[in-house]
Structure 1
Amino acid sequence: MPLELKMPALSPTMEEGTLAKWLVKEGDSVSSGDILAEIETDKATMEFEAVDEGTIAKILVPEGSDGVKVGTPIAVLAGEGEDASAVPAAAPAAAPAKEEAKAPEPAPPAKGGGETPAAPAAPAAPAPKADTGDRIKASPLARRLAEAQGIDLSSLTGSGPGGRIVRADLGDKAGGAAKPAAAATSAPTAAPAPAAAPVQPFETDIPHEAVKLSNMRKTIARRLTESKQQIPHIYLTVDVRLDALLKLRGELNAGLASRGVKLSVNDMLIKALALSLIEVPECNVSFAGDTLIKYSRADISVAVSIPGGLITPIIAGADSKAISAISKEMGDLAGRAKEGKLQPHEYQGGTASLSNMGMFGIKQFEAVINPPQAMIMAIGAGEKRPYVIDDSLQIASIMSATGSFDHRAIDGADGARLMKAFKELCESPLGLVA
C-alpha cells in the first residue's frame, strides 16, 4: 500500500514548518537517503530524506507552503506496482488543517450574537459574506461605529491600506457614534472586540510594506516574550580592563599565523565565560519547575546574527578546549549558520550564552535570557577610557560586560561571583591558556 510521507519533526521543539522547496516531482523514483525537500524550521533550512524507496506518486503540499503542522501528509510514496489512488483520503488530509485554522475567524461573532449585551458586535463579521463572500476589511473602530449607527460597511469604499475601511471613510454618517461605541467597549461583555484587533492589518497612512514573519522571527518573538514575562531577570555589570588580553591575543596570533589560525577577542571571551562557569558552578544551571539542573560542563551558546533573525550555535565543552580550537569551531559554525545549514544539535542546548555587540560600538546592554538557560553574558565595545590604575588616573582599554541571571535559579551573590571570576580571567588572561 502506498506510504504517506509526513511533515517531519526536525528538532525537538518543532511544531510546524515551511515546505520551502521540493527537490523531486511526481513520477520520480527515489531511494532511501535521497533528499526529497528542503524544510524551513524556526532556526534553519534542513533537508528531508527518504527512508524508503519507491516512486513519488503524489505531492500533497506544494512548495512554499508555511505553517505545515508536524505529522501532516505532504506526499505519497508508491512502491513497485502501486498506485496513489489506493489512498484517496491522503490528498485532502492536509486541507482540513488549513480550513480549521480559518474557522475561528467567524466563530467569535456567531458566539457573540447569542449574548444580548454583545449583540452590537455580532453582525459585523457575518455581513461581508452575505454580500461578497469575503470578509470586508475594516478597522475595529470603524466596525463599532458602523454597527452603532446601522451603517452597511459593504456600501463604503475603504481608503486605508489594501482598501481597508477606516474611521474617516464613515464621514458624517458616523455622527456622534464615538461615545456610544466607547461605552460599549467599557462593558465587560465587550471583551471579544479587543481579541479580534491583533488579527487586523496594521492601519497607517504612512507608505510602508507588510512583510510576513518567517518561522524564525515568530519563534524569536514567542520565546523572548516568554522569557521576559516568566523569568525574573537580574543584571550585574563589571568594567573589564582589556590591555593584557589584547597583548596576549597579539602574541598568540603571531605564533599561530603559520597554522592559519587568527584568534578573535570573542574566542577568548567564550573561553573566559566557560571557565568562570566551572569556577562558579552555582551559575551553570537551569531552572526546571521544582528542579534545578546542575551542569558539569560549560557549553556556550554564541549569538550570531543571520539574515532574518538570530541563532546561537554552541561550543560544547568550551571549558576544556584550547582557544585555537574554539576559534576554528566558531568560524565553521558561524559560516554554516548564515547559510542555514546547522543541524539541530548544533544550536539547541547550551548551559549559558554569550552575546557580543562590541563590533557595533555598543558600550553596554542587557541581553534577554535564552530559556531554559539561566544566564547570558552581554559584551560591549572595548574602548579607551580614563581608568584608575595603582591609585593614579590613566588611560586603559575598558570593556563593559553585563550578566543577565535567572533569579529563580541564581542568587545575586553567586552571579556577582561569576562576574568577578570573568573579570579576573580577562585581566589576567594567562589563565585562559594554562
Structure 2
Amino acid sequence: MATLLRMPEPAAGATSAVVSEWPIAENSPYSVNAAIVVIETEKASIEIEAESDGVLLKRLVAAGTEVDVGAPIALLGAPGERPENVEALLAELGATAPPAPPATSSAQPAAPPAPSAAASPAQPAAALNGQAAPVTEEPPAESTSARVFASPLARRLARQGGLAIDQIAGTGPGGRILRRDVEEALARASRPAPTPTPAPVTATPSGEYEDIPHSRIRRAIATRLVASKQTTPHFYVRGTARAEQLLAVRAQLNQPGSPKISVNDLVVKAVARAHRLVPEMNTIWTPDAVRRFTHVDVAVAVATDTGLVTPVLRAVDTMPITAVAETTRRHAESARTGRLRQNDLEGGTVSVTNLGMYGTEEFTAIINPPHSSILSVGAARTEPVVENGTVVAGTTIRFVLSVDHRPIDGTVAARWMAEFLALIENPVRILA
C-alpha cells in the first residue's frame, strides 16, 4: 500500500531541512535500510533510510528545496507496486504531485520580456496536507534555447548575489544547480581579480576583503557556541601528564597487522574510564534535574571542510580500544563526506577535542551543549621535568577540562582530573 514519506524532524526543535539528494530514481525499488533521500541540516547531511523494502513511486520535491518538517516529500509503494494513476493516489492521501515543467516549442520561441520587467518570484505550490508546501521552480528571467534547472533556494541565492543563474555550473542530478554551486560561484566572484602587471605587491591596499558565505553548519556552530558561553557558567581545570608510557603502549598496540591506535583513541578511552571512576562527571544539566547516565558516551571533535562536528561514540566504557579506534575512524570518514546520521550527533556528556597534531601546547574549548564538559588535548612535547629531584628531559601532554558549573562542582572536576592524569601515566589501566 502506498504511503507518503514526510520530512522528518532531524533534531529537537527543527522546523525545516533541505532535500539535498535523491539517491534512488523514481519507480525504482529499494531495500530495507537503503538511503531513500539525503537531507541537509545545520549540523550535517543525513541519510533517511527505508524502514522496509519498497519502491519510490514519486518525488514530490526537487533536490535543493527547503521543506517544512512533516510536509510530504515522496510517495512510496510496496515492493512491485505500480499504480495506474499516481496523481489520483496522491490526492487520496492528501498530497499533490509537483507541477510538470512547462513545455517548450521550437516553432514558436517565447517572446523576450520587456526591458523594464524584473524577474518574477517563484509561485508557491498548493499546500500539502495542511503543511506549507515547497515552492516550485521559478521561470527563467530571460528566454533561452534550453531550460536551466536549479533549486528555488539556489535561484534565490543567485538573485540576491547578483549572479545570472544560467552562468553557474550545476553539480546536482542532471546538471541541476544546487545551493552549494551558487555559494561556490559567489565565493569565486568575490575574490579580487588578478593584477594585470607582474610587479610585486609590497602591501595590501586598505579595504580589500573576501566574503565567504556562511554554511548552515557554520551558522549552527556560531549559534550554539555563543549560547553556550552566554548560558553555561564555565570553569577550567588544567593538568599535565608524563606521556612516555602512553606512547610506549601505543607502539606495542600498533604491531604489524594490528588495527592502528592513535593517541587520541587512548585519551578517549581514558576519559570514559575516568567518568566511571568519578560518576558525578557523567551528568548533564536539565531544567528539572541533574541527569546521570549509566554508560559513558563520548563525543569526538572532527574537522570538516564546512566546520567542526562532534559524532558520539556510545558506551565507550565497555568498548575495547580497537573498537574505539575503528568507530572513531568510521565517524570521521562519515563526517568528512557528509554522511553522518542525526543519531550520530546526539547524546553524550563529554567531548574530546585535540589540536596536538598541529603542535598546539595548550588551549581551552567551549562546552558543546548539552554536554557538561569538554577536554582539550595538547601536543606531546619534550621539555624539562623534575624526576627524583633531578631535572631531566621528559615527554608531557597538557590537558584543559572546561566544565559546566551547574551540575558539577570544582572539587568533582579536580578529582576527575587527578584520576584521568593517573590513567594517562599508567595506560595499562586504560585497557583493563
Identity of aligned residues (%): 34
Runs of 4 or more off by more than 6 Å in structure 1?
A: none
1:257 alignment partner in structure 2? 256
3-state SS, counterpart of residue 256 of structure 2: helix
Find the partner of 1:293 among 282, 287, 291. Answer: 291
2:139 alignment partner in structure 1? none
Cα distance in 1 for partners of 2:73, 2:345 equals: 26
Q: Greater CA deviation, 230-239 or 310-319?
A: 310-319
* Higher percent of residues as helix: 1
Pick closer, same or farther for the CA change 1:312–1:278 going to 2, 3 Å. Answer: same
Give 1:47 shift.
2.9
Q: Does structure 2 retain, via aligned residues, the 8 Å contact 1:32–1:49?
A: no
1:230 alignment partner in structure 2? 231
Give 1:55 shift.
6.5
Cα distance in 2 for partners of 1:294, 1:274 equals: 14
Q: Does structure 2 retain, via aligned residues, the 8 Å contact 1:241–1:399?
A: yes
Pick closer, same or farther for the CA change 1:54–1:398 going to 2, 3 Å. Answer: closer
2:305 alignment partner in structure 1? 307
Cα distance in 2 for partners of 1:44, 1:270 equals: 23
Aligned pair 1:81/2:84, yes or no? yes
Find the partner of 2:323 among 322, 325, 345. Answer: 325
3-state SS, counterpart of residue 373 of structure 1: coil
Pick closer, same or farther for the CA change 1:35–1:277 going to 2, 3 Å. Answer: closer
Pick closer, same or farther for the CA change 1:269–1:35 going to 2, 3 Å. Answer: closer
TM-score, normalised with respect to structure 1: 0.67
Pick closer, same or farther for the CA change 1:92–1:210 going to 2, 3 Å. Answer: farther
Pick closer, same or farther for the CA change 1:247–1:13 going to 2, 3 Å. Answer: farther
Which has the greater radius of gyration?
A: 1
Pick closer, same or farther for the CA change 1:423–1:69 going to 2, 3 Å. Answer: same
In structure 2, runs of 5+ residues without a counterpart are 97-124, 136-158, 163-205
Pick closer, same or farther for the CA change 1:251–1:52 going to 2, 3 Å. Answer: closer
Cα distance in 2 for partners of 1:93, 1:209 equals: 37
Pick closer, same or farther for the CA change 1:242–1:54 going to 2, 3 Å. Answer: closer
Cα distance in 1 for partners of 2:29, 2:326 equals: 37
Amino acid at match of 1:82: N
In structure 1, runs of 5+ residues without a counterpart are 100-133, 138-203
Taking the TM superposition and a 5 Å limit, the aligned residue runs for 1:143-292 are 206-214=208-216, 216-253=217-254, 256-258=255-257, 260-292=258-290
2:19 alignment partner in structure 1? 19
Give 1:266 shift.
0.8
Give 1:246 shift.
1.3
3-state SS, counterpart of residue 92 of structure 1: coil
Give 1:374 shift.
0.6
Q: Does structure 2 retain, via aligned residues, the 8 Å contact 1:2–1:83?
A: no
1:404 alignment partner in structure 2? 402
Amino acid at match of 2:307: G
Q: Does structure 1 retain, via aligned residues, the 8 Å contact 2:275–2:282?
A: yes
Cα distance in 1 for partners of 2:83, 2:95 equals: 20
Pick closer, same or farther for the CA change 1:13–1:340 going to 2, 3 Å. Answer: farther
Give 1:60 shift.
4.1
Pick closer, same or farther for the CA change 1:291–1:4 going to 2, 3 Å. Answer: same
3-state SS, counterpart of residue 301 of structure 1: strand
Give 1:62 shift.
2.2
Q: Does structure 2 retain, via aligned residues, the 8 Å contact 1:2–1:84?
A: no
Give 1:378 shift.
0.6
1:336 alignment partner in structure 2? 334
Q: Does structure 2 retain, via aligned residues, the 8 Å contact 1:2–1:82?
A: no
Deviation digits for residues 84-103 of structure 1, max 9, x if unmatched?
2663974422795679xxxx
2:381 alignment partner in structure 1? 383
Aligned pair 1:43/2:43, yes or no? yes
Deviation digits for residues 199-236 of structure 1, max 9, x if unmatched?
xxxxx95342342422x222222221211111000011
Give 1:23 shift.
3.8
Cα distance in 1 for partners of 2:210, 2:133 equals: 32
Give 1:417 shift.
0.8
Cα distance in 2 for partners of 1:303, 1:83 equals: 45
Q: How many residues end up aligned between the 2 structures?
A: 327
Give 1:32 shift.
7.0
Pick closer, same or farther for the CA change 1:13–1:262 going to 2, 3 Å. Answer: farther
Amino acid at match of 1:43: K
TM-score, normalised with respect to structure 2: 0.67
Q: Greater CA deviation, 343-352 or 421-430?
A: 343-352
Amino acid at match of 2:84: G
Cα distance in 2 for partners of 1:300, 1:35 equals: 26
Amino acid at match of 2:87: A
Amino acid at match of 2:236: Y
2:431 alignment partner in structure 1? 433
3-state SS, counterpart of residue 428 of structure 2: helix
Pick closer, same or farther for the CA change 1:417–1:21 going to 2, 3 Å. Answer: same
Cα distance in 2 for partners of 1:36, 1:376 equals: 35
Aligned pair 1:72/2:71, yes or no? yes
Pick closer, same or farther for the CA change 1:54–1:387 going to 2, 3 Å. Answer: closer
Q: Does structure 2 retain, via aligned residues, the 8 Å contact 1:268–1:323?
A: yes
Cα distance in 2 for partners of 1:251, 1:350 equals: 30
1:348 alignment partner in structure 2? 346
Cα distance in 2 for partners of 1:326, 1:22 equals: 32
Amino acid at match of 1:240: A
Amino acid at match of 1:331: R
Cα distance in 2 for partners of 1:308, 1:6 equals: 27
1:122 alignment partner in structure 2? none
Cα distance in 2 for partners of 1:293, 1:228 equals: 21
Cα distance in 1 for partners of 2:16, 2:282 equals: 31
Give 1:341 shift.
2.3
Q: Does structure 1 retain, via aligned residues, the 8 Å contact 2:24–2:56?
A: no
Cα distance in 1 for partners of 2:61, 2:21 equals: 10
